[in-house]
Structure 1
Amino acid sequence: MPYAPPETPGRAARHRRAARHRRAVVATATLLPALLAACAGGASADDPTTAAAVTAELPTEIPAGTTLVVGDPTTQKAVEIAGDDLDSDLGFTIEWANLSGGPQTTEAFRAGALDVGAVADIPPIHAEWTGLDVKIVAAVYRENWQKNPIYEFGVAPGVDGVETLEDFKGHRVAYSPGQAQGVIVLRALKEAGLTQDDVTLVELPSNGDVYTTALAAGEVDIAPIGGVQIARYLDKYGSDGAHTVRHGLRDDPSHLYVPTSVTTDPAKAAALRAYVRLWAQAKLWVHDHPEEWKAGYYVADQGLSPADADYLVERAGTPDIPEDWTEHIAAHQKTVELLAEATGNDVLDAADLWDERFAPVLAQAAADYREKEAG
């Protein structure tokens, strides 16, 4: 999701701020890749003690002094902007880490420096392939995902005849392995009955405006672009023939994932249970308060123009917080298989990545929020 950018490497620092409106003390932590030594840790799924812990009923008692380090900048901002609209007095301390994206989050997990990360559906798969045992503990989607996709395929000026996915054949396509933008390329090719041999995949990082710049410069013919980059690209280059192609595929998963060791630690698991409730309600609050979100997050925090903020809110869709994850685990399995084929990794059982004990917690949180809002 096109929210806070990754932290610029530098010296790690933690910035404390006072608790507001009876909330627990919240610290802002800046965790940087240079300090995250690769020290593999966490519980193993093959350990009988671990296996029992991840299937036991979730604990609810949070001992005094419990802390969760959370890399979820968007929810952090939503909690700040919402104020008393959200009950964030959870009974433990949250240290907010200014981290986003799979690579940074997984690296922080390995260092034992992070408890919770906010990502799409790809990083948990790659974490398992690199030997890090993780669990998905929260999921939100878009009810109207067909109308409001995360990504569209930008087509470079001067590239004619590309109106459908089948037309990608013979063209240069920007590709970022291991990221959501890379997976949507693989999904699009599969949907069109094409293989990687039918196109030229050009590996480029998908951060910032790299893809739109590459399109404008003629370095690639097609690239998946998202968020406000779509509007900016068409505004700037549409008169030169640039356009976009919609893929018609689901690209809307948004997850929280954690090292499995977090779910097997009774204190942290209880705190995590409380945090995913806040996370779900924050998603609904953002949807219900677009003007506050545009002004407080997109404009004041992210530095976007009011027009860009309007564009993003209009395309955000309605949050869907399902109680039953069966359908989404099955879709995740297809993603695992697609990635395994593309990378040569073993096929994982996607169900092993999901801690389904949290699904009813999220659904109840959503129901409680809506009941409160209804008066």
Structure 2
Amino acid sequence: MSFHRHALFAGVLALATGLLGFAPGAHSQPAAPKEIRIGFQKSAVNLVILKQQGALEKRFPDSKVSWIEFPAGPQLLEALAVGSLEIGLTGDSPPVFAQAAGKDLRYVGAEPPKPQSSAILVKPDSPLRTLADLKGRKVAFQKGSSAHYLVVRALAQAGLQWSDITPIYLPPSDARAAFERGSVDAWAIWDPYYAATELDIQPRVLSNGVGLSGNNSFYLASTAFTQNHPQAVQVLLDELTRADAYVQSHRKESAQFIADFSGLSLATVHLFISRRPPSPVKPLSPALVADQQRVADAFQQLGLIPKPVAVAEIVWQPGAPGAARLANAAR
């Protein structure tokens, strides 16, 4: 085999195994997506950094990159399921509810657990001192969110039944208003809403997620996007990991990026970033799939989702179809 033929074959084979990044315009690569619509929340630090730096627009110059903000994961995944997004970030519970409802989506990546980044809050003068004191109380949280699972686990640890509380399903901004005016007894919430409330009104933390919930974060994509543009998905995950490395080495600049985008105070941003461990994005490990299955099983056992779900069934397995096509092209 000549040097040039050998080099061409080696290049295509490396691409087939995912060793090369996405390069718009390369003849051996699939076309870039025409549009990449990304759903994110204020807590999505890696995505916010990418947005503020324009990193994806540089990696995908032939694609229209759009950024759509959501107040919580359930709303984001509903948009993903109806074809309004290609990819987005949520906590642990929204994908379970979406899968149980038959939504067509795939887990494509995950960040490490962040158990200190969510909490059950009570007012400073509240008589509630332990999780057992939630019995007979009104507890606010976003239905189908990571806070929902935190409450499930908190009640179980306290030896309480789901029927022992009155759940008040509210999105974060409405829940905070209800919490401040005393319409609810407790509020389960995640950062940065948690950090902002902590600084503004000094609530007491009845419990955070430590020992209860890992507060895991997942990247989910539409099935069509994973099938048609697997290399683009991988580039997105690689860029998210690069963004996290930037956050770890440039805390001051990252906090300013996030504050400028979100309108949150710098003090709030620094507080919620301080609770966030290094968060590179990796494929779901078997241990993380098992952990997520426990989330699904807990909701199913309480009758909060209509049927059992098998999390592993919607975990993206990258590479196989796309790699096979590229390998065939090299023959």
Q: Give yes or no for contact 2:108–2:283 (8 Å, CA) kept in 1.
A: no
What secondary structure, in the 3-state scheme, does the structure 1 residue paired with 2:318 have?
Answer: helix
Counterpart CA distance in 2 for 1:134 and 1:183 is: 20
Q: 1:259 aligns with which of 204, 210, 222?
A: 222
What secondary structure, in the 3-state scheme, does the structure 2 residue paired with 1:98 have?
Answer: strand
Would you say 1:64 and 2:31 are equivalent positions? yes
TM-score (norm 1): 0.67
Q: Which residue does 1:353 correspond to in 2?
A: 314
Q: Which residue does 2:213 correspond to in 1?
A: 250
Q: Which residue does 1:288 correspond to in 2?
A: 249
Q: How does 1:1-375 map to 2 (within 5 A)?
A: 62-73=29-40, 74=44, 75=46, 77-79=48-50, 81-82=52-53, 88-90=58-60, 93-100=63-70, 101-142=72-113, 145-146=114-115, 149-160=116-127, 162-201=128-167, 203-208=168-173, 210-238=174-202, 242-247=203-208, 248=210, 249-265=212-228, 268-298=229-259, 300-319=260-279, 321=281, 325-342=285-302, 343-357=304-318
Give the letter for the 1:138 counterpart: G
1:319 Cα deviation from its structure 2 partner: 1.8
Mark the CA change 1:324 to 1:253 in structure 2 (over 3 Å): closer, same or farther. Answer: closer
Percent of aligned positions with the same letter in both sequences? 22
Counterpart CA distance in 1 for 2:145 and 2:251 is: 28
Give the letter for the 1:309 counterpart: V
Q: Give yes or no for contact 1:68–1:116 (8 Å, CA) kept in 2.
A: no
Counterpart CA distance in 2 for 1:235 and 1:280 is: 29
Counterpart CA distance in 2 for 1:62 and 1:122 is: 36
Counterpart CA distance in 2 for 1:350 and 1:126 is: 11
User: Number of residue pairs matched?
Assistant: 289
Counterpart CA distance in 1 for 2:261 and 2:141 is: 29
Give the letter for the 2:204 counterpart: H
For structure 2, which runs of at least 5 residues remain unmatched after alignment?
A: 1-15, 23-27, 320-331
Counterpart CA distance in 2 for 1:121 and 1:317 is: 17
1:302 Cα deviation from its structure 2 partner: 1.6
What secondary structure, in the 3-state scheme, does the structure 1 residue paired with 2:218 have?
Answer: strand
For structure 1, which runs of at least 5 residues remain unmatched after alignment?
A: 1-55, 359-375
Give the letter for the 1:204 counterpart: Y
Counterpart CA distance in 2 for 1:328 and 1:348 is: 15
1:177 Cα deviation from its structure 2 partner: 2.0
TM-score (norm 2): 0.76
Between the two structures, name the one with larger relative contact order (CA 8 Å, sep ≥ 6): 2
Q: Give yes or no for contact 1:212–1:225 (8 Å, CA) kept in 2.
A: no
Counterpart CA distance in 2 for 1:322 and 1:191 is: 30
Counterpart CA distance in 2 for 1:117 and 1:348 is: 21
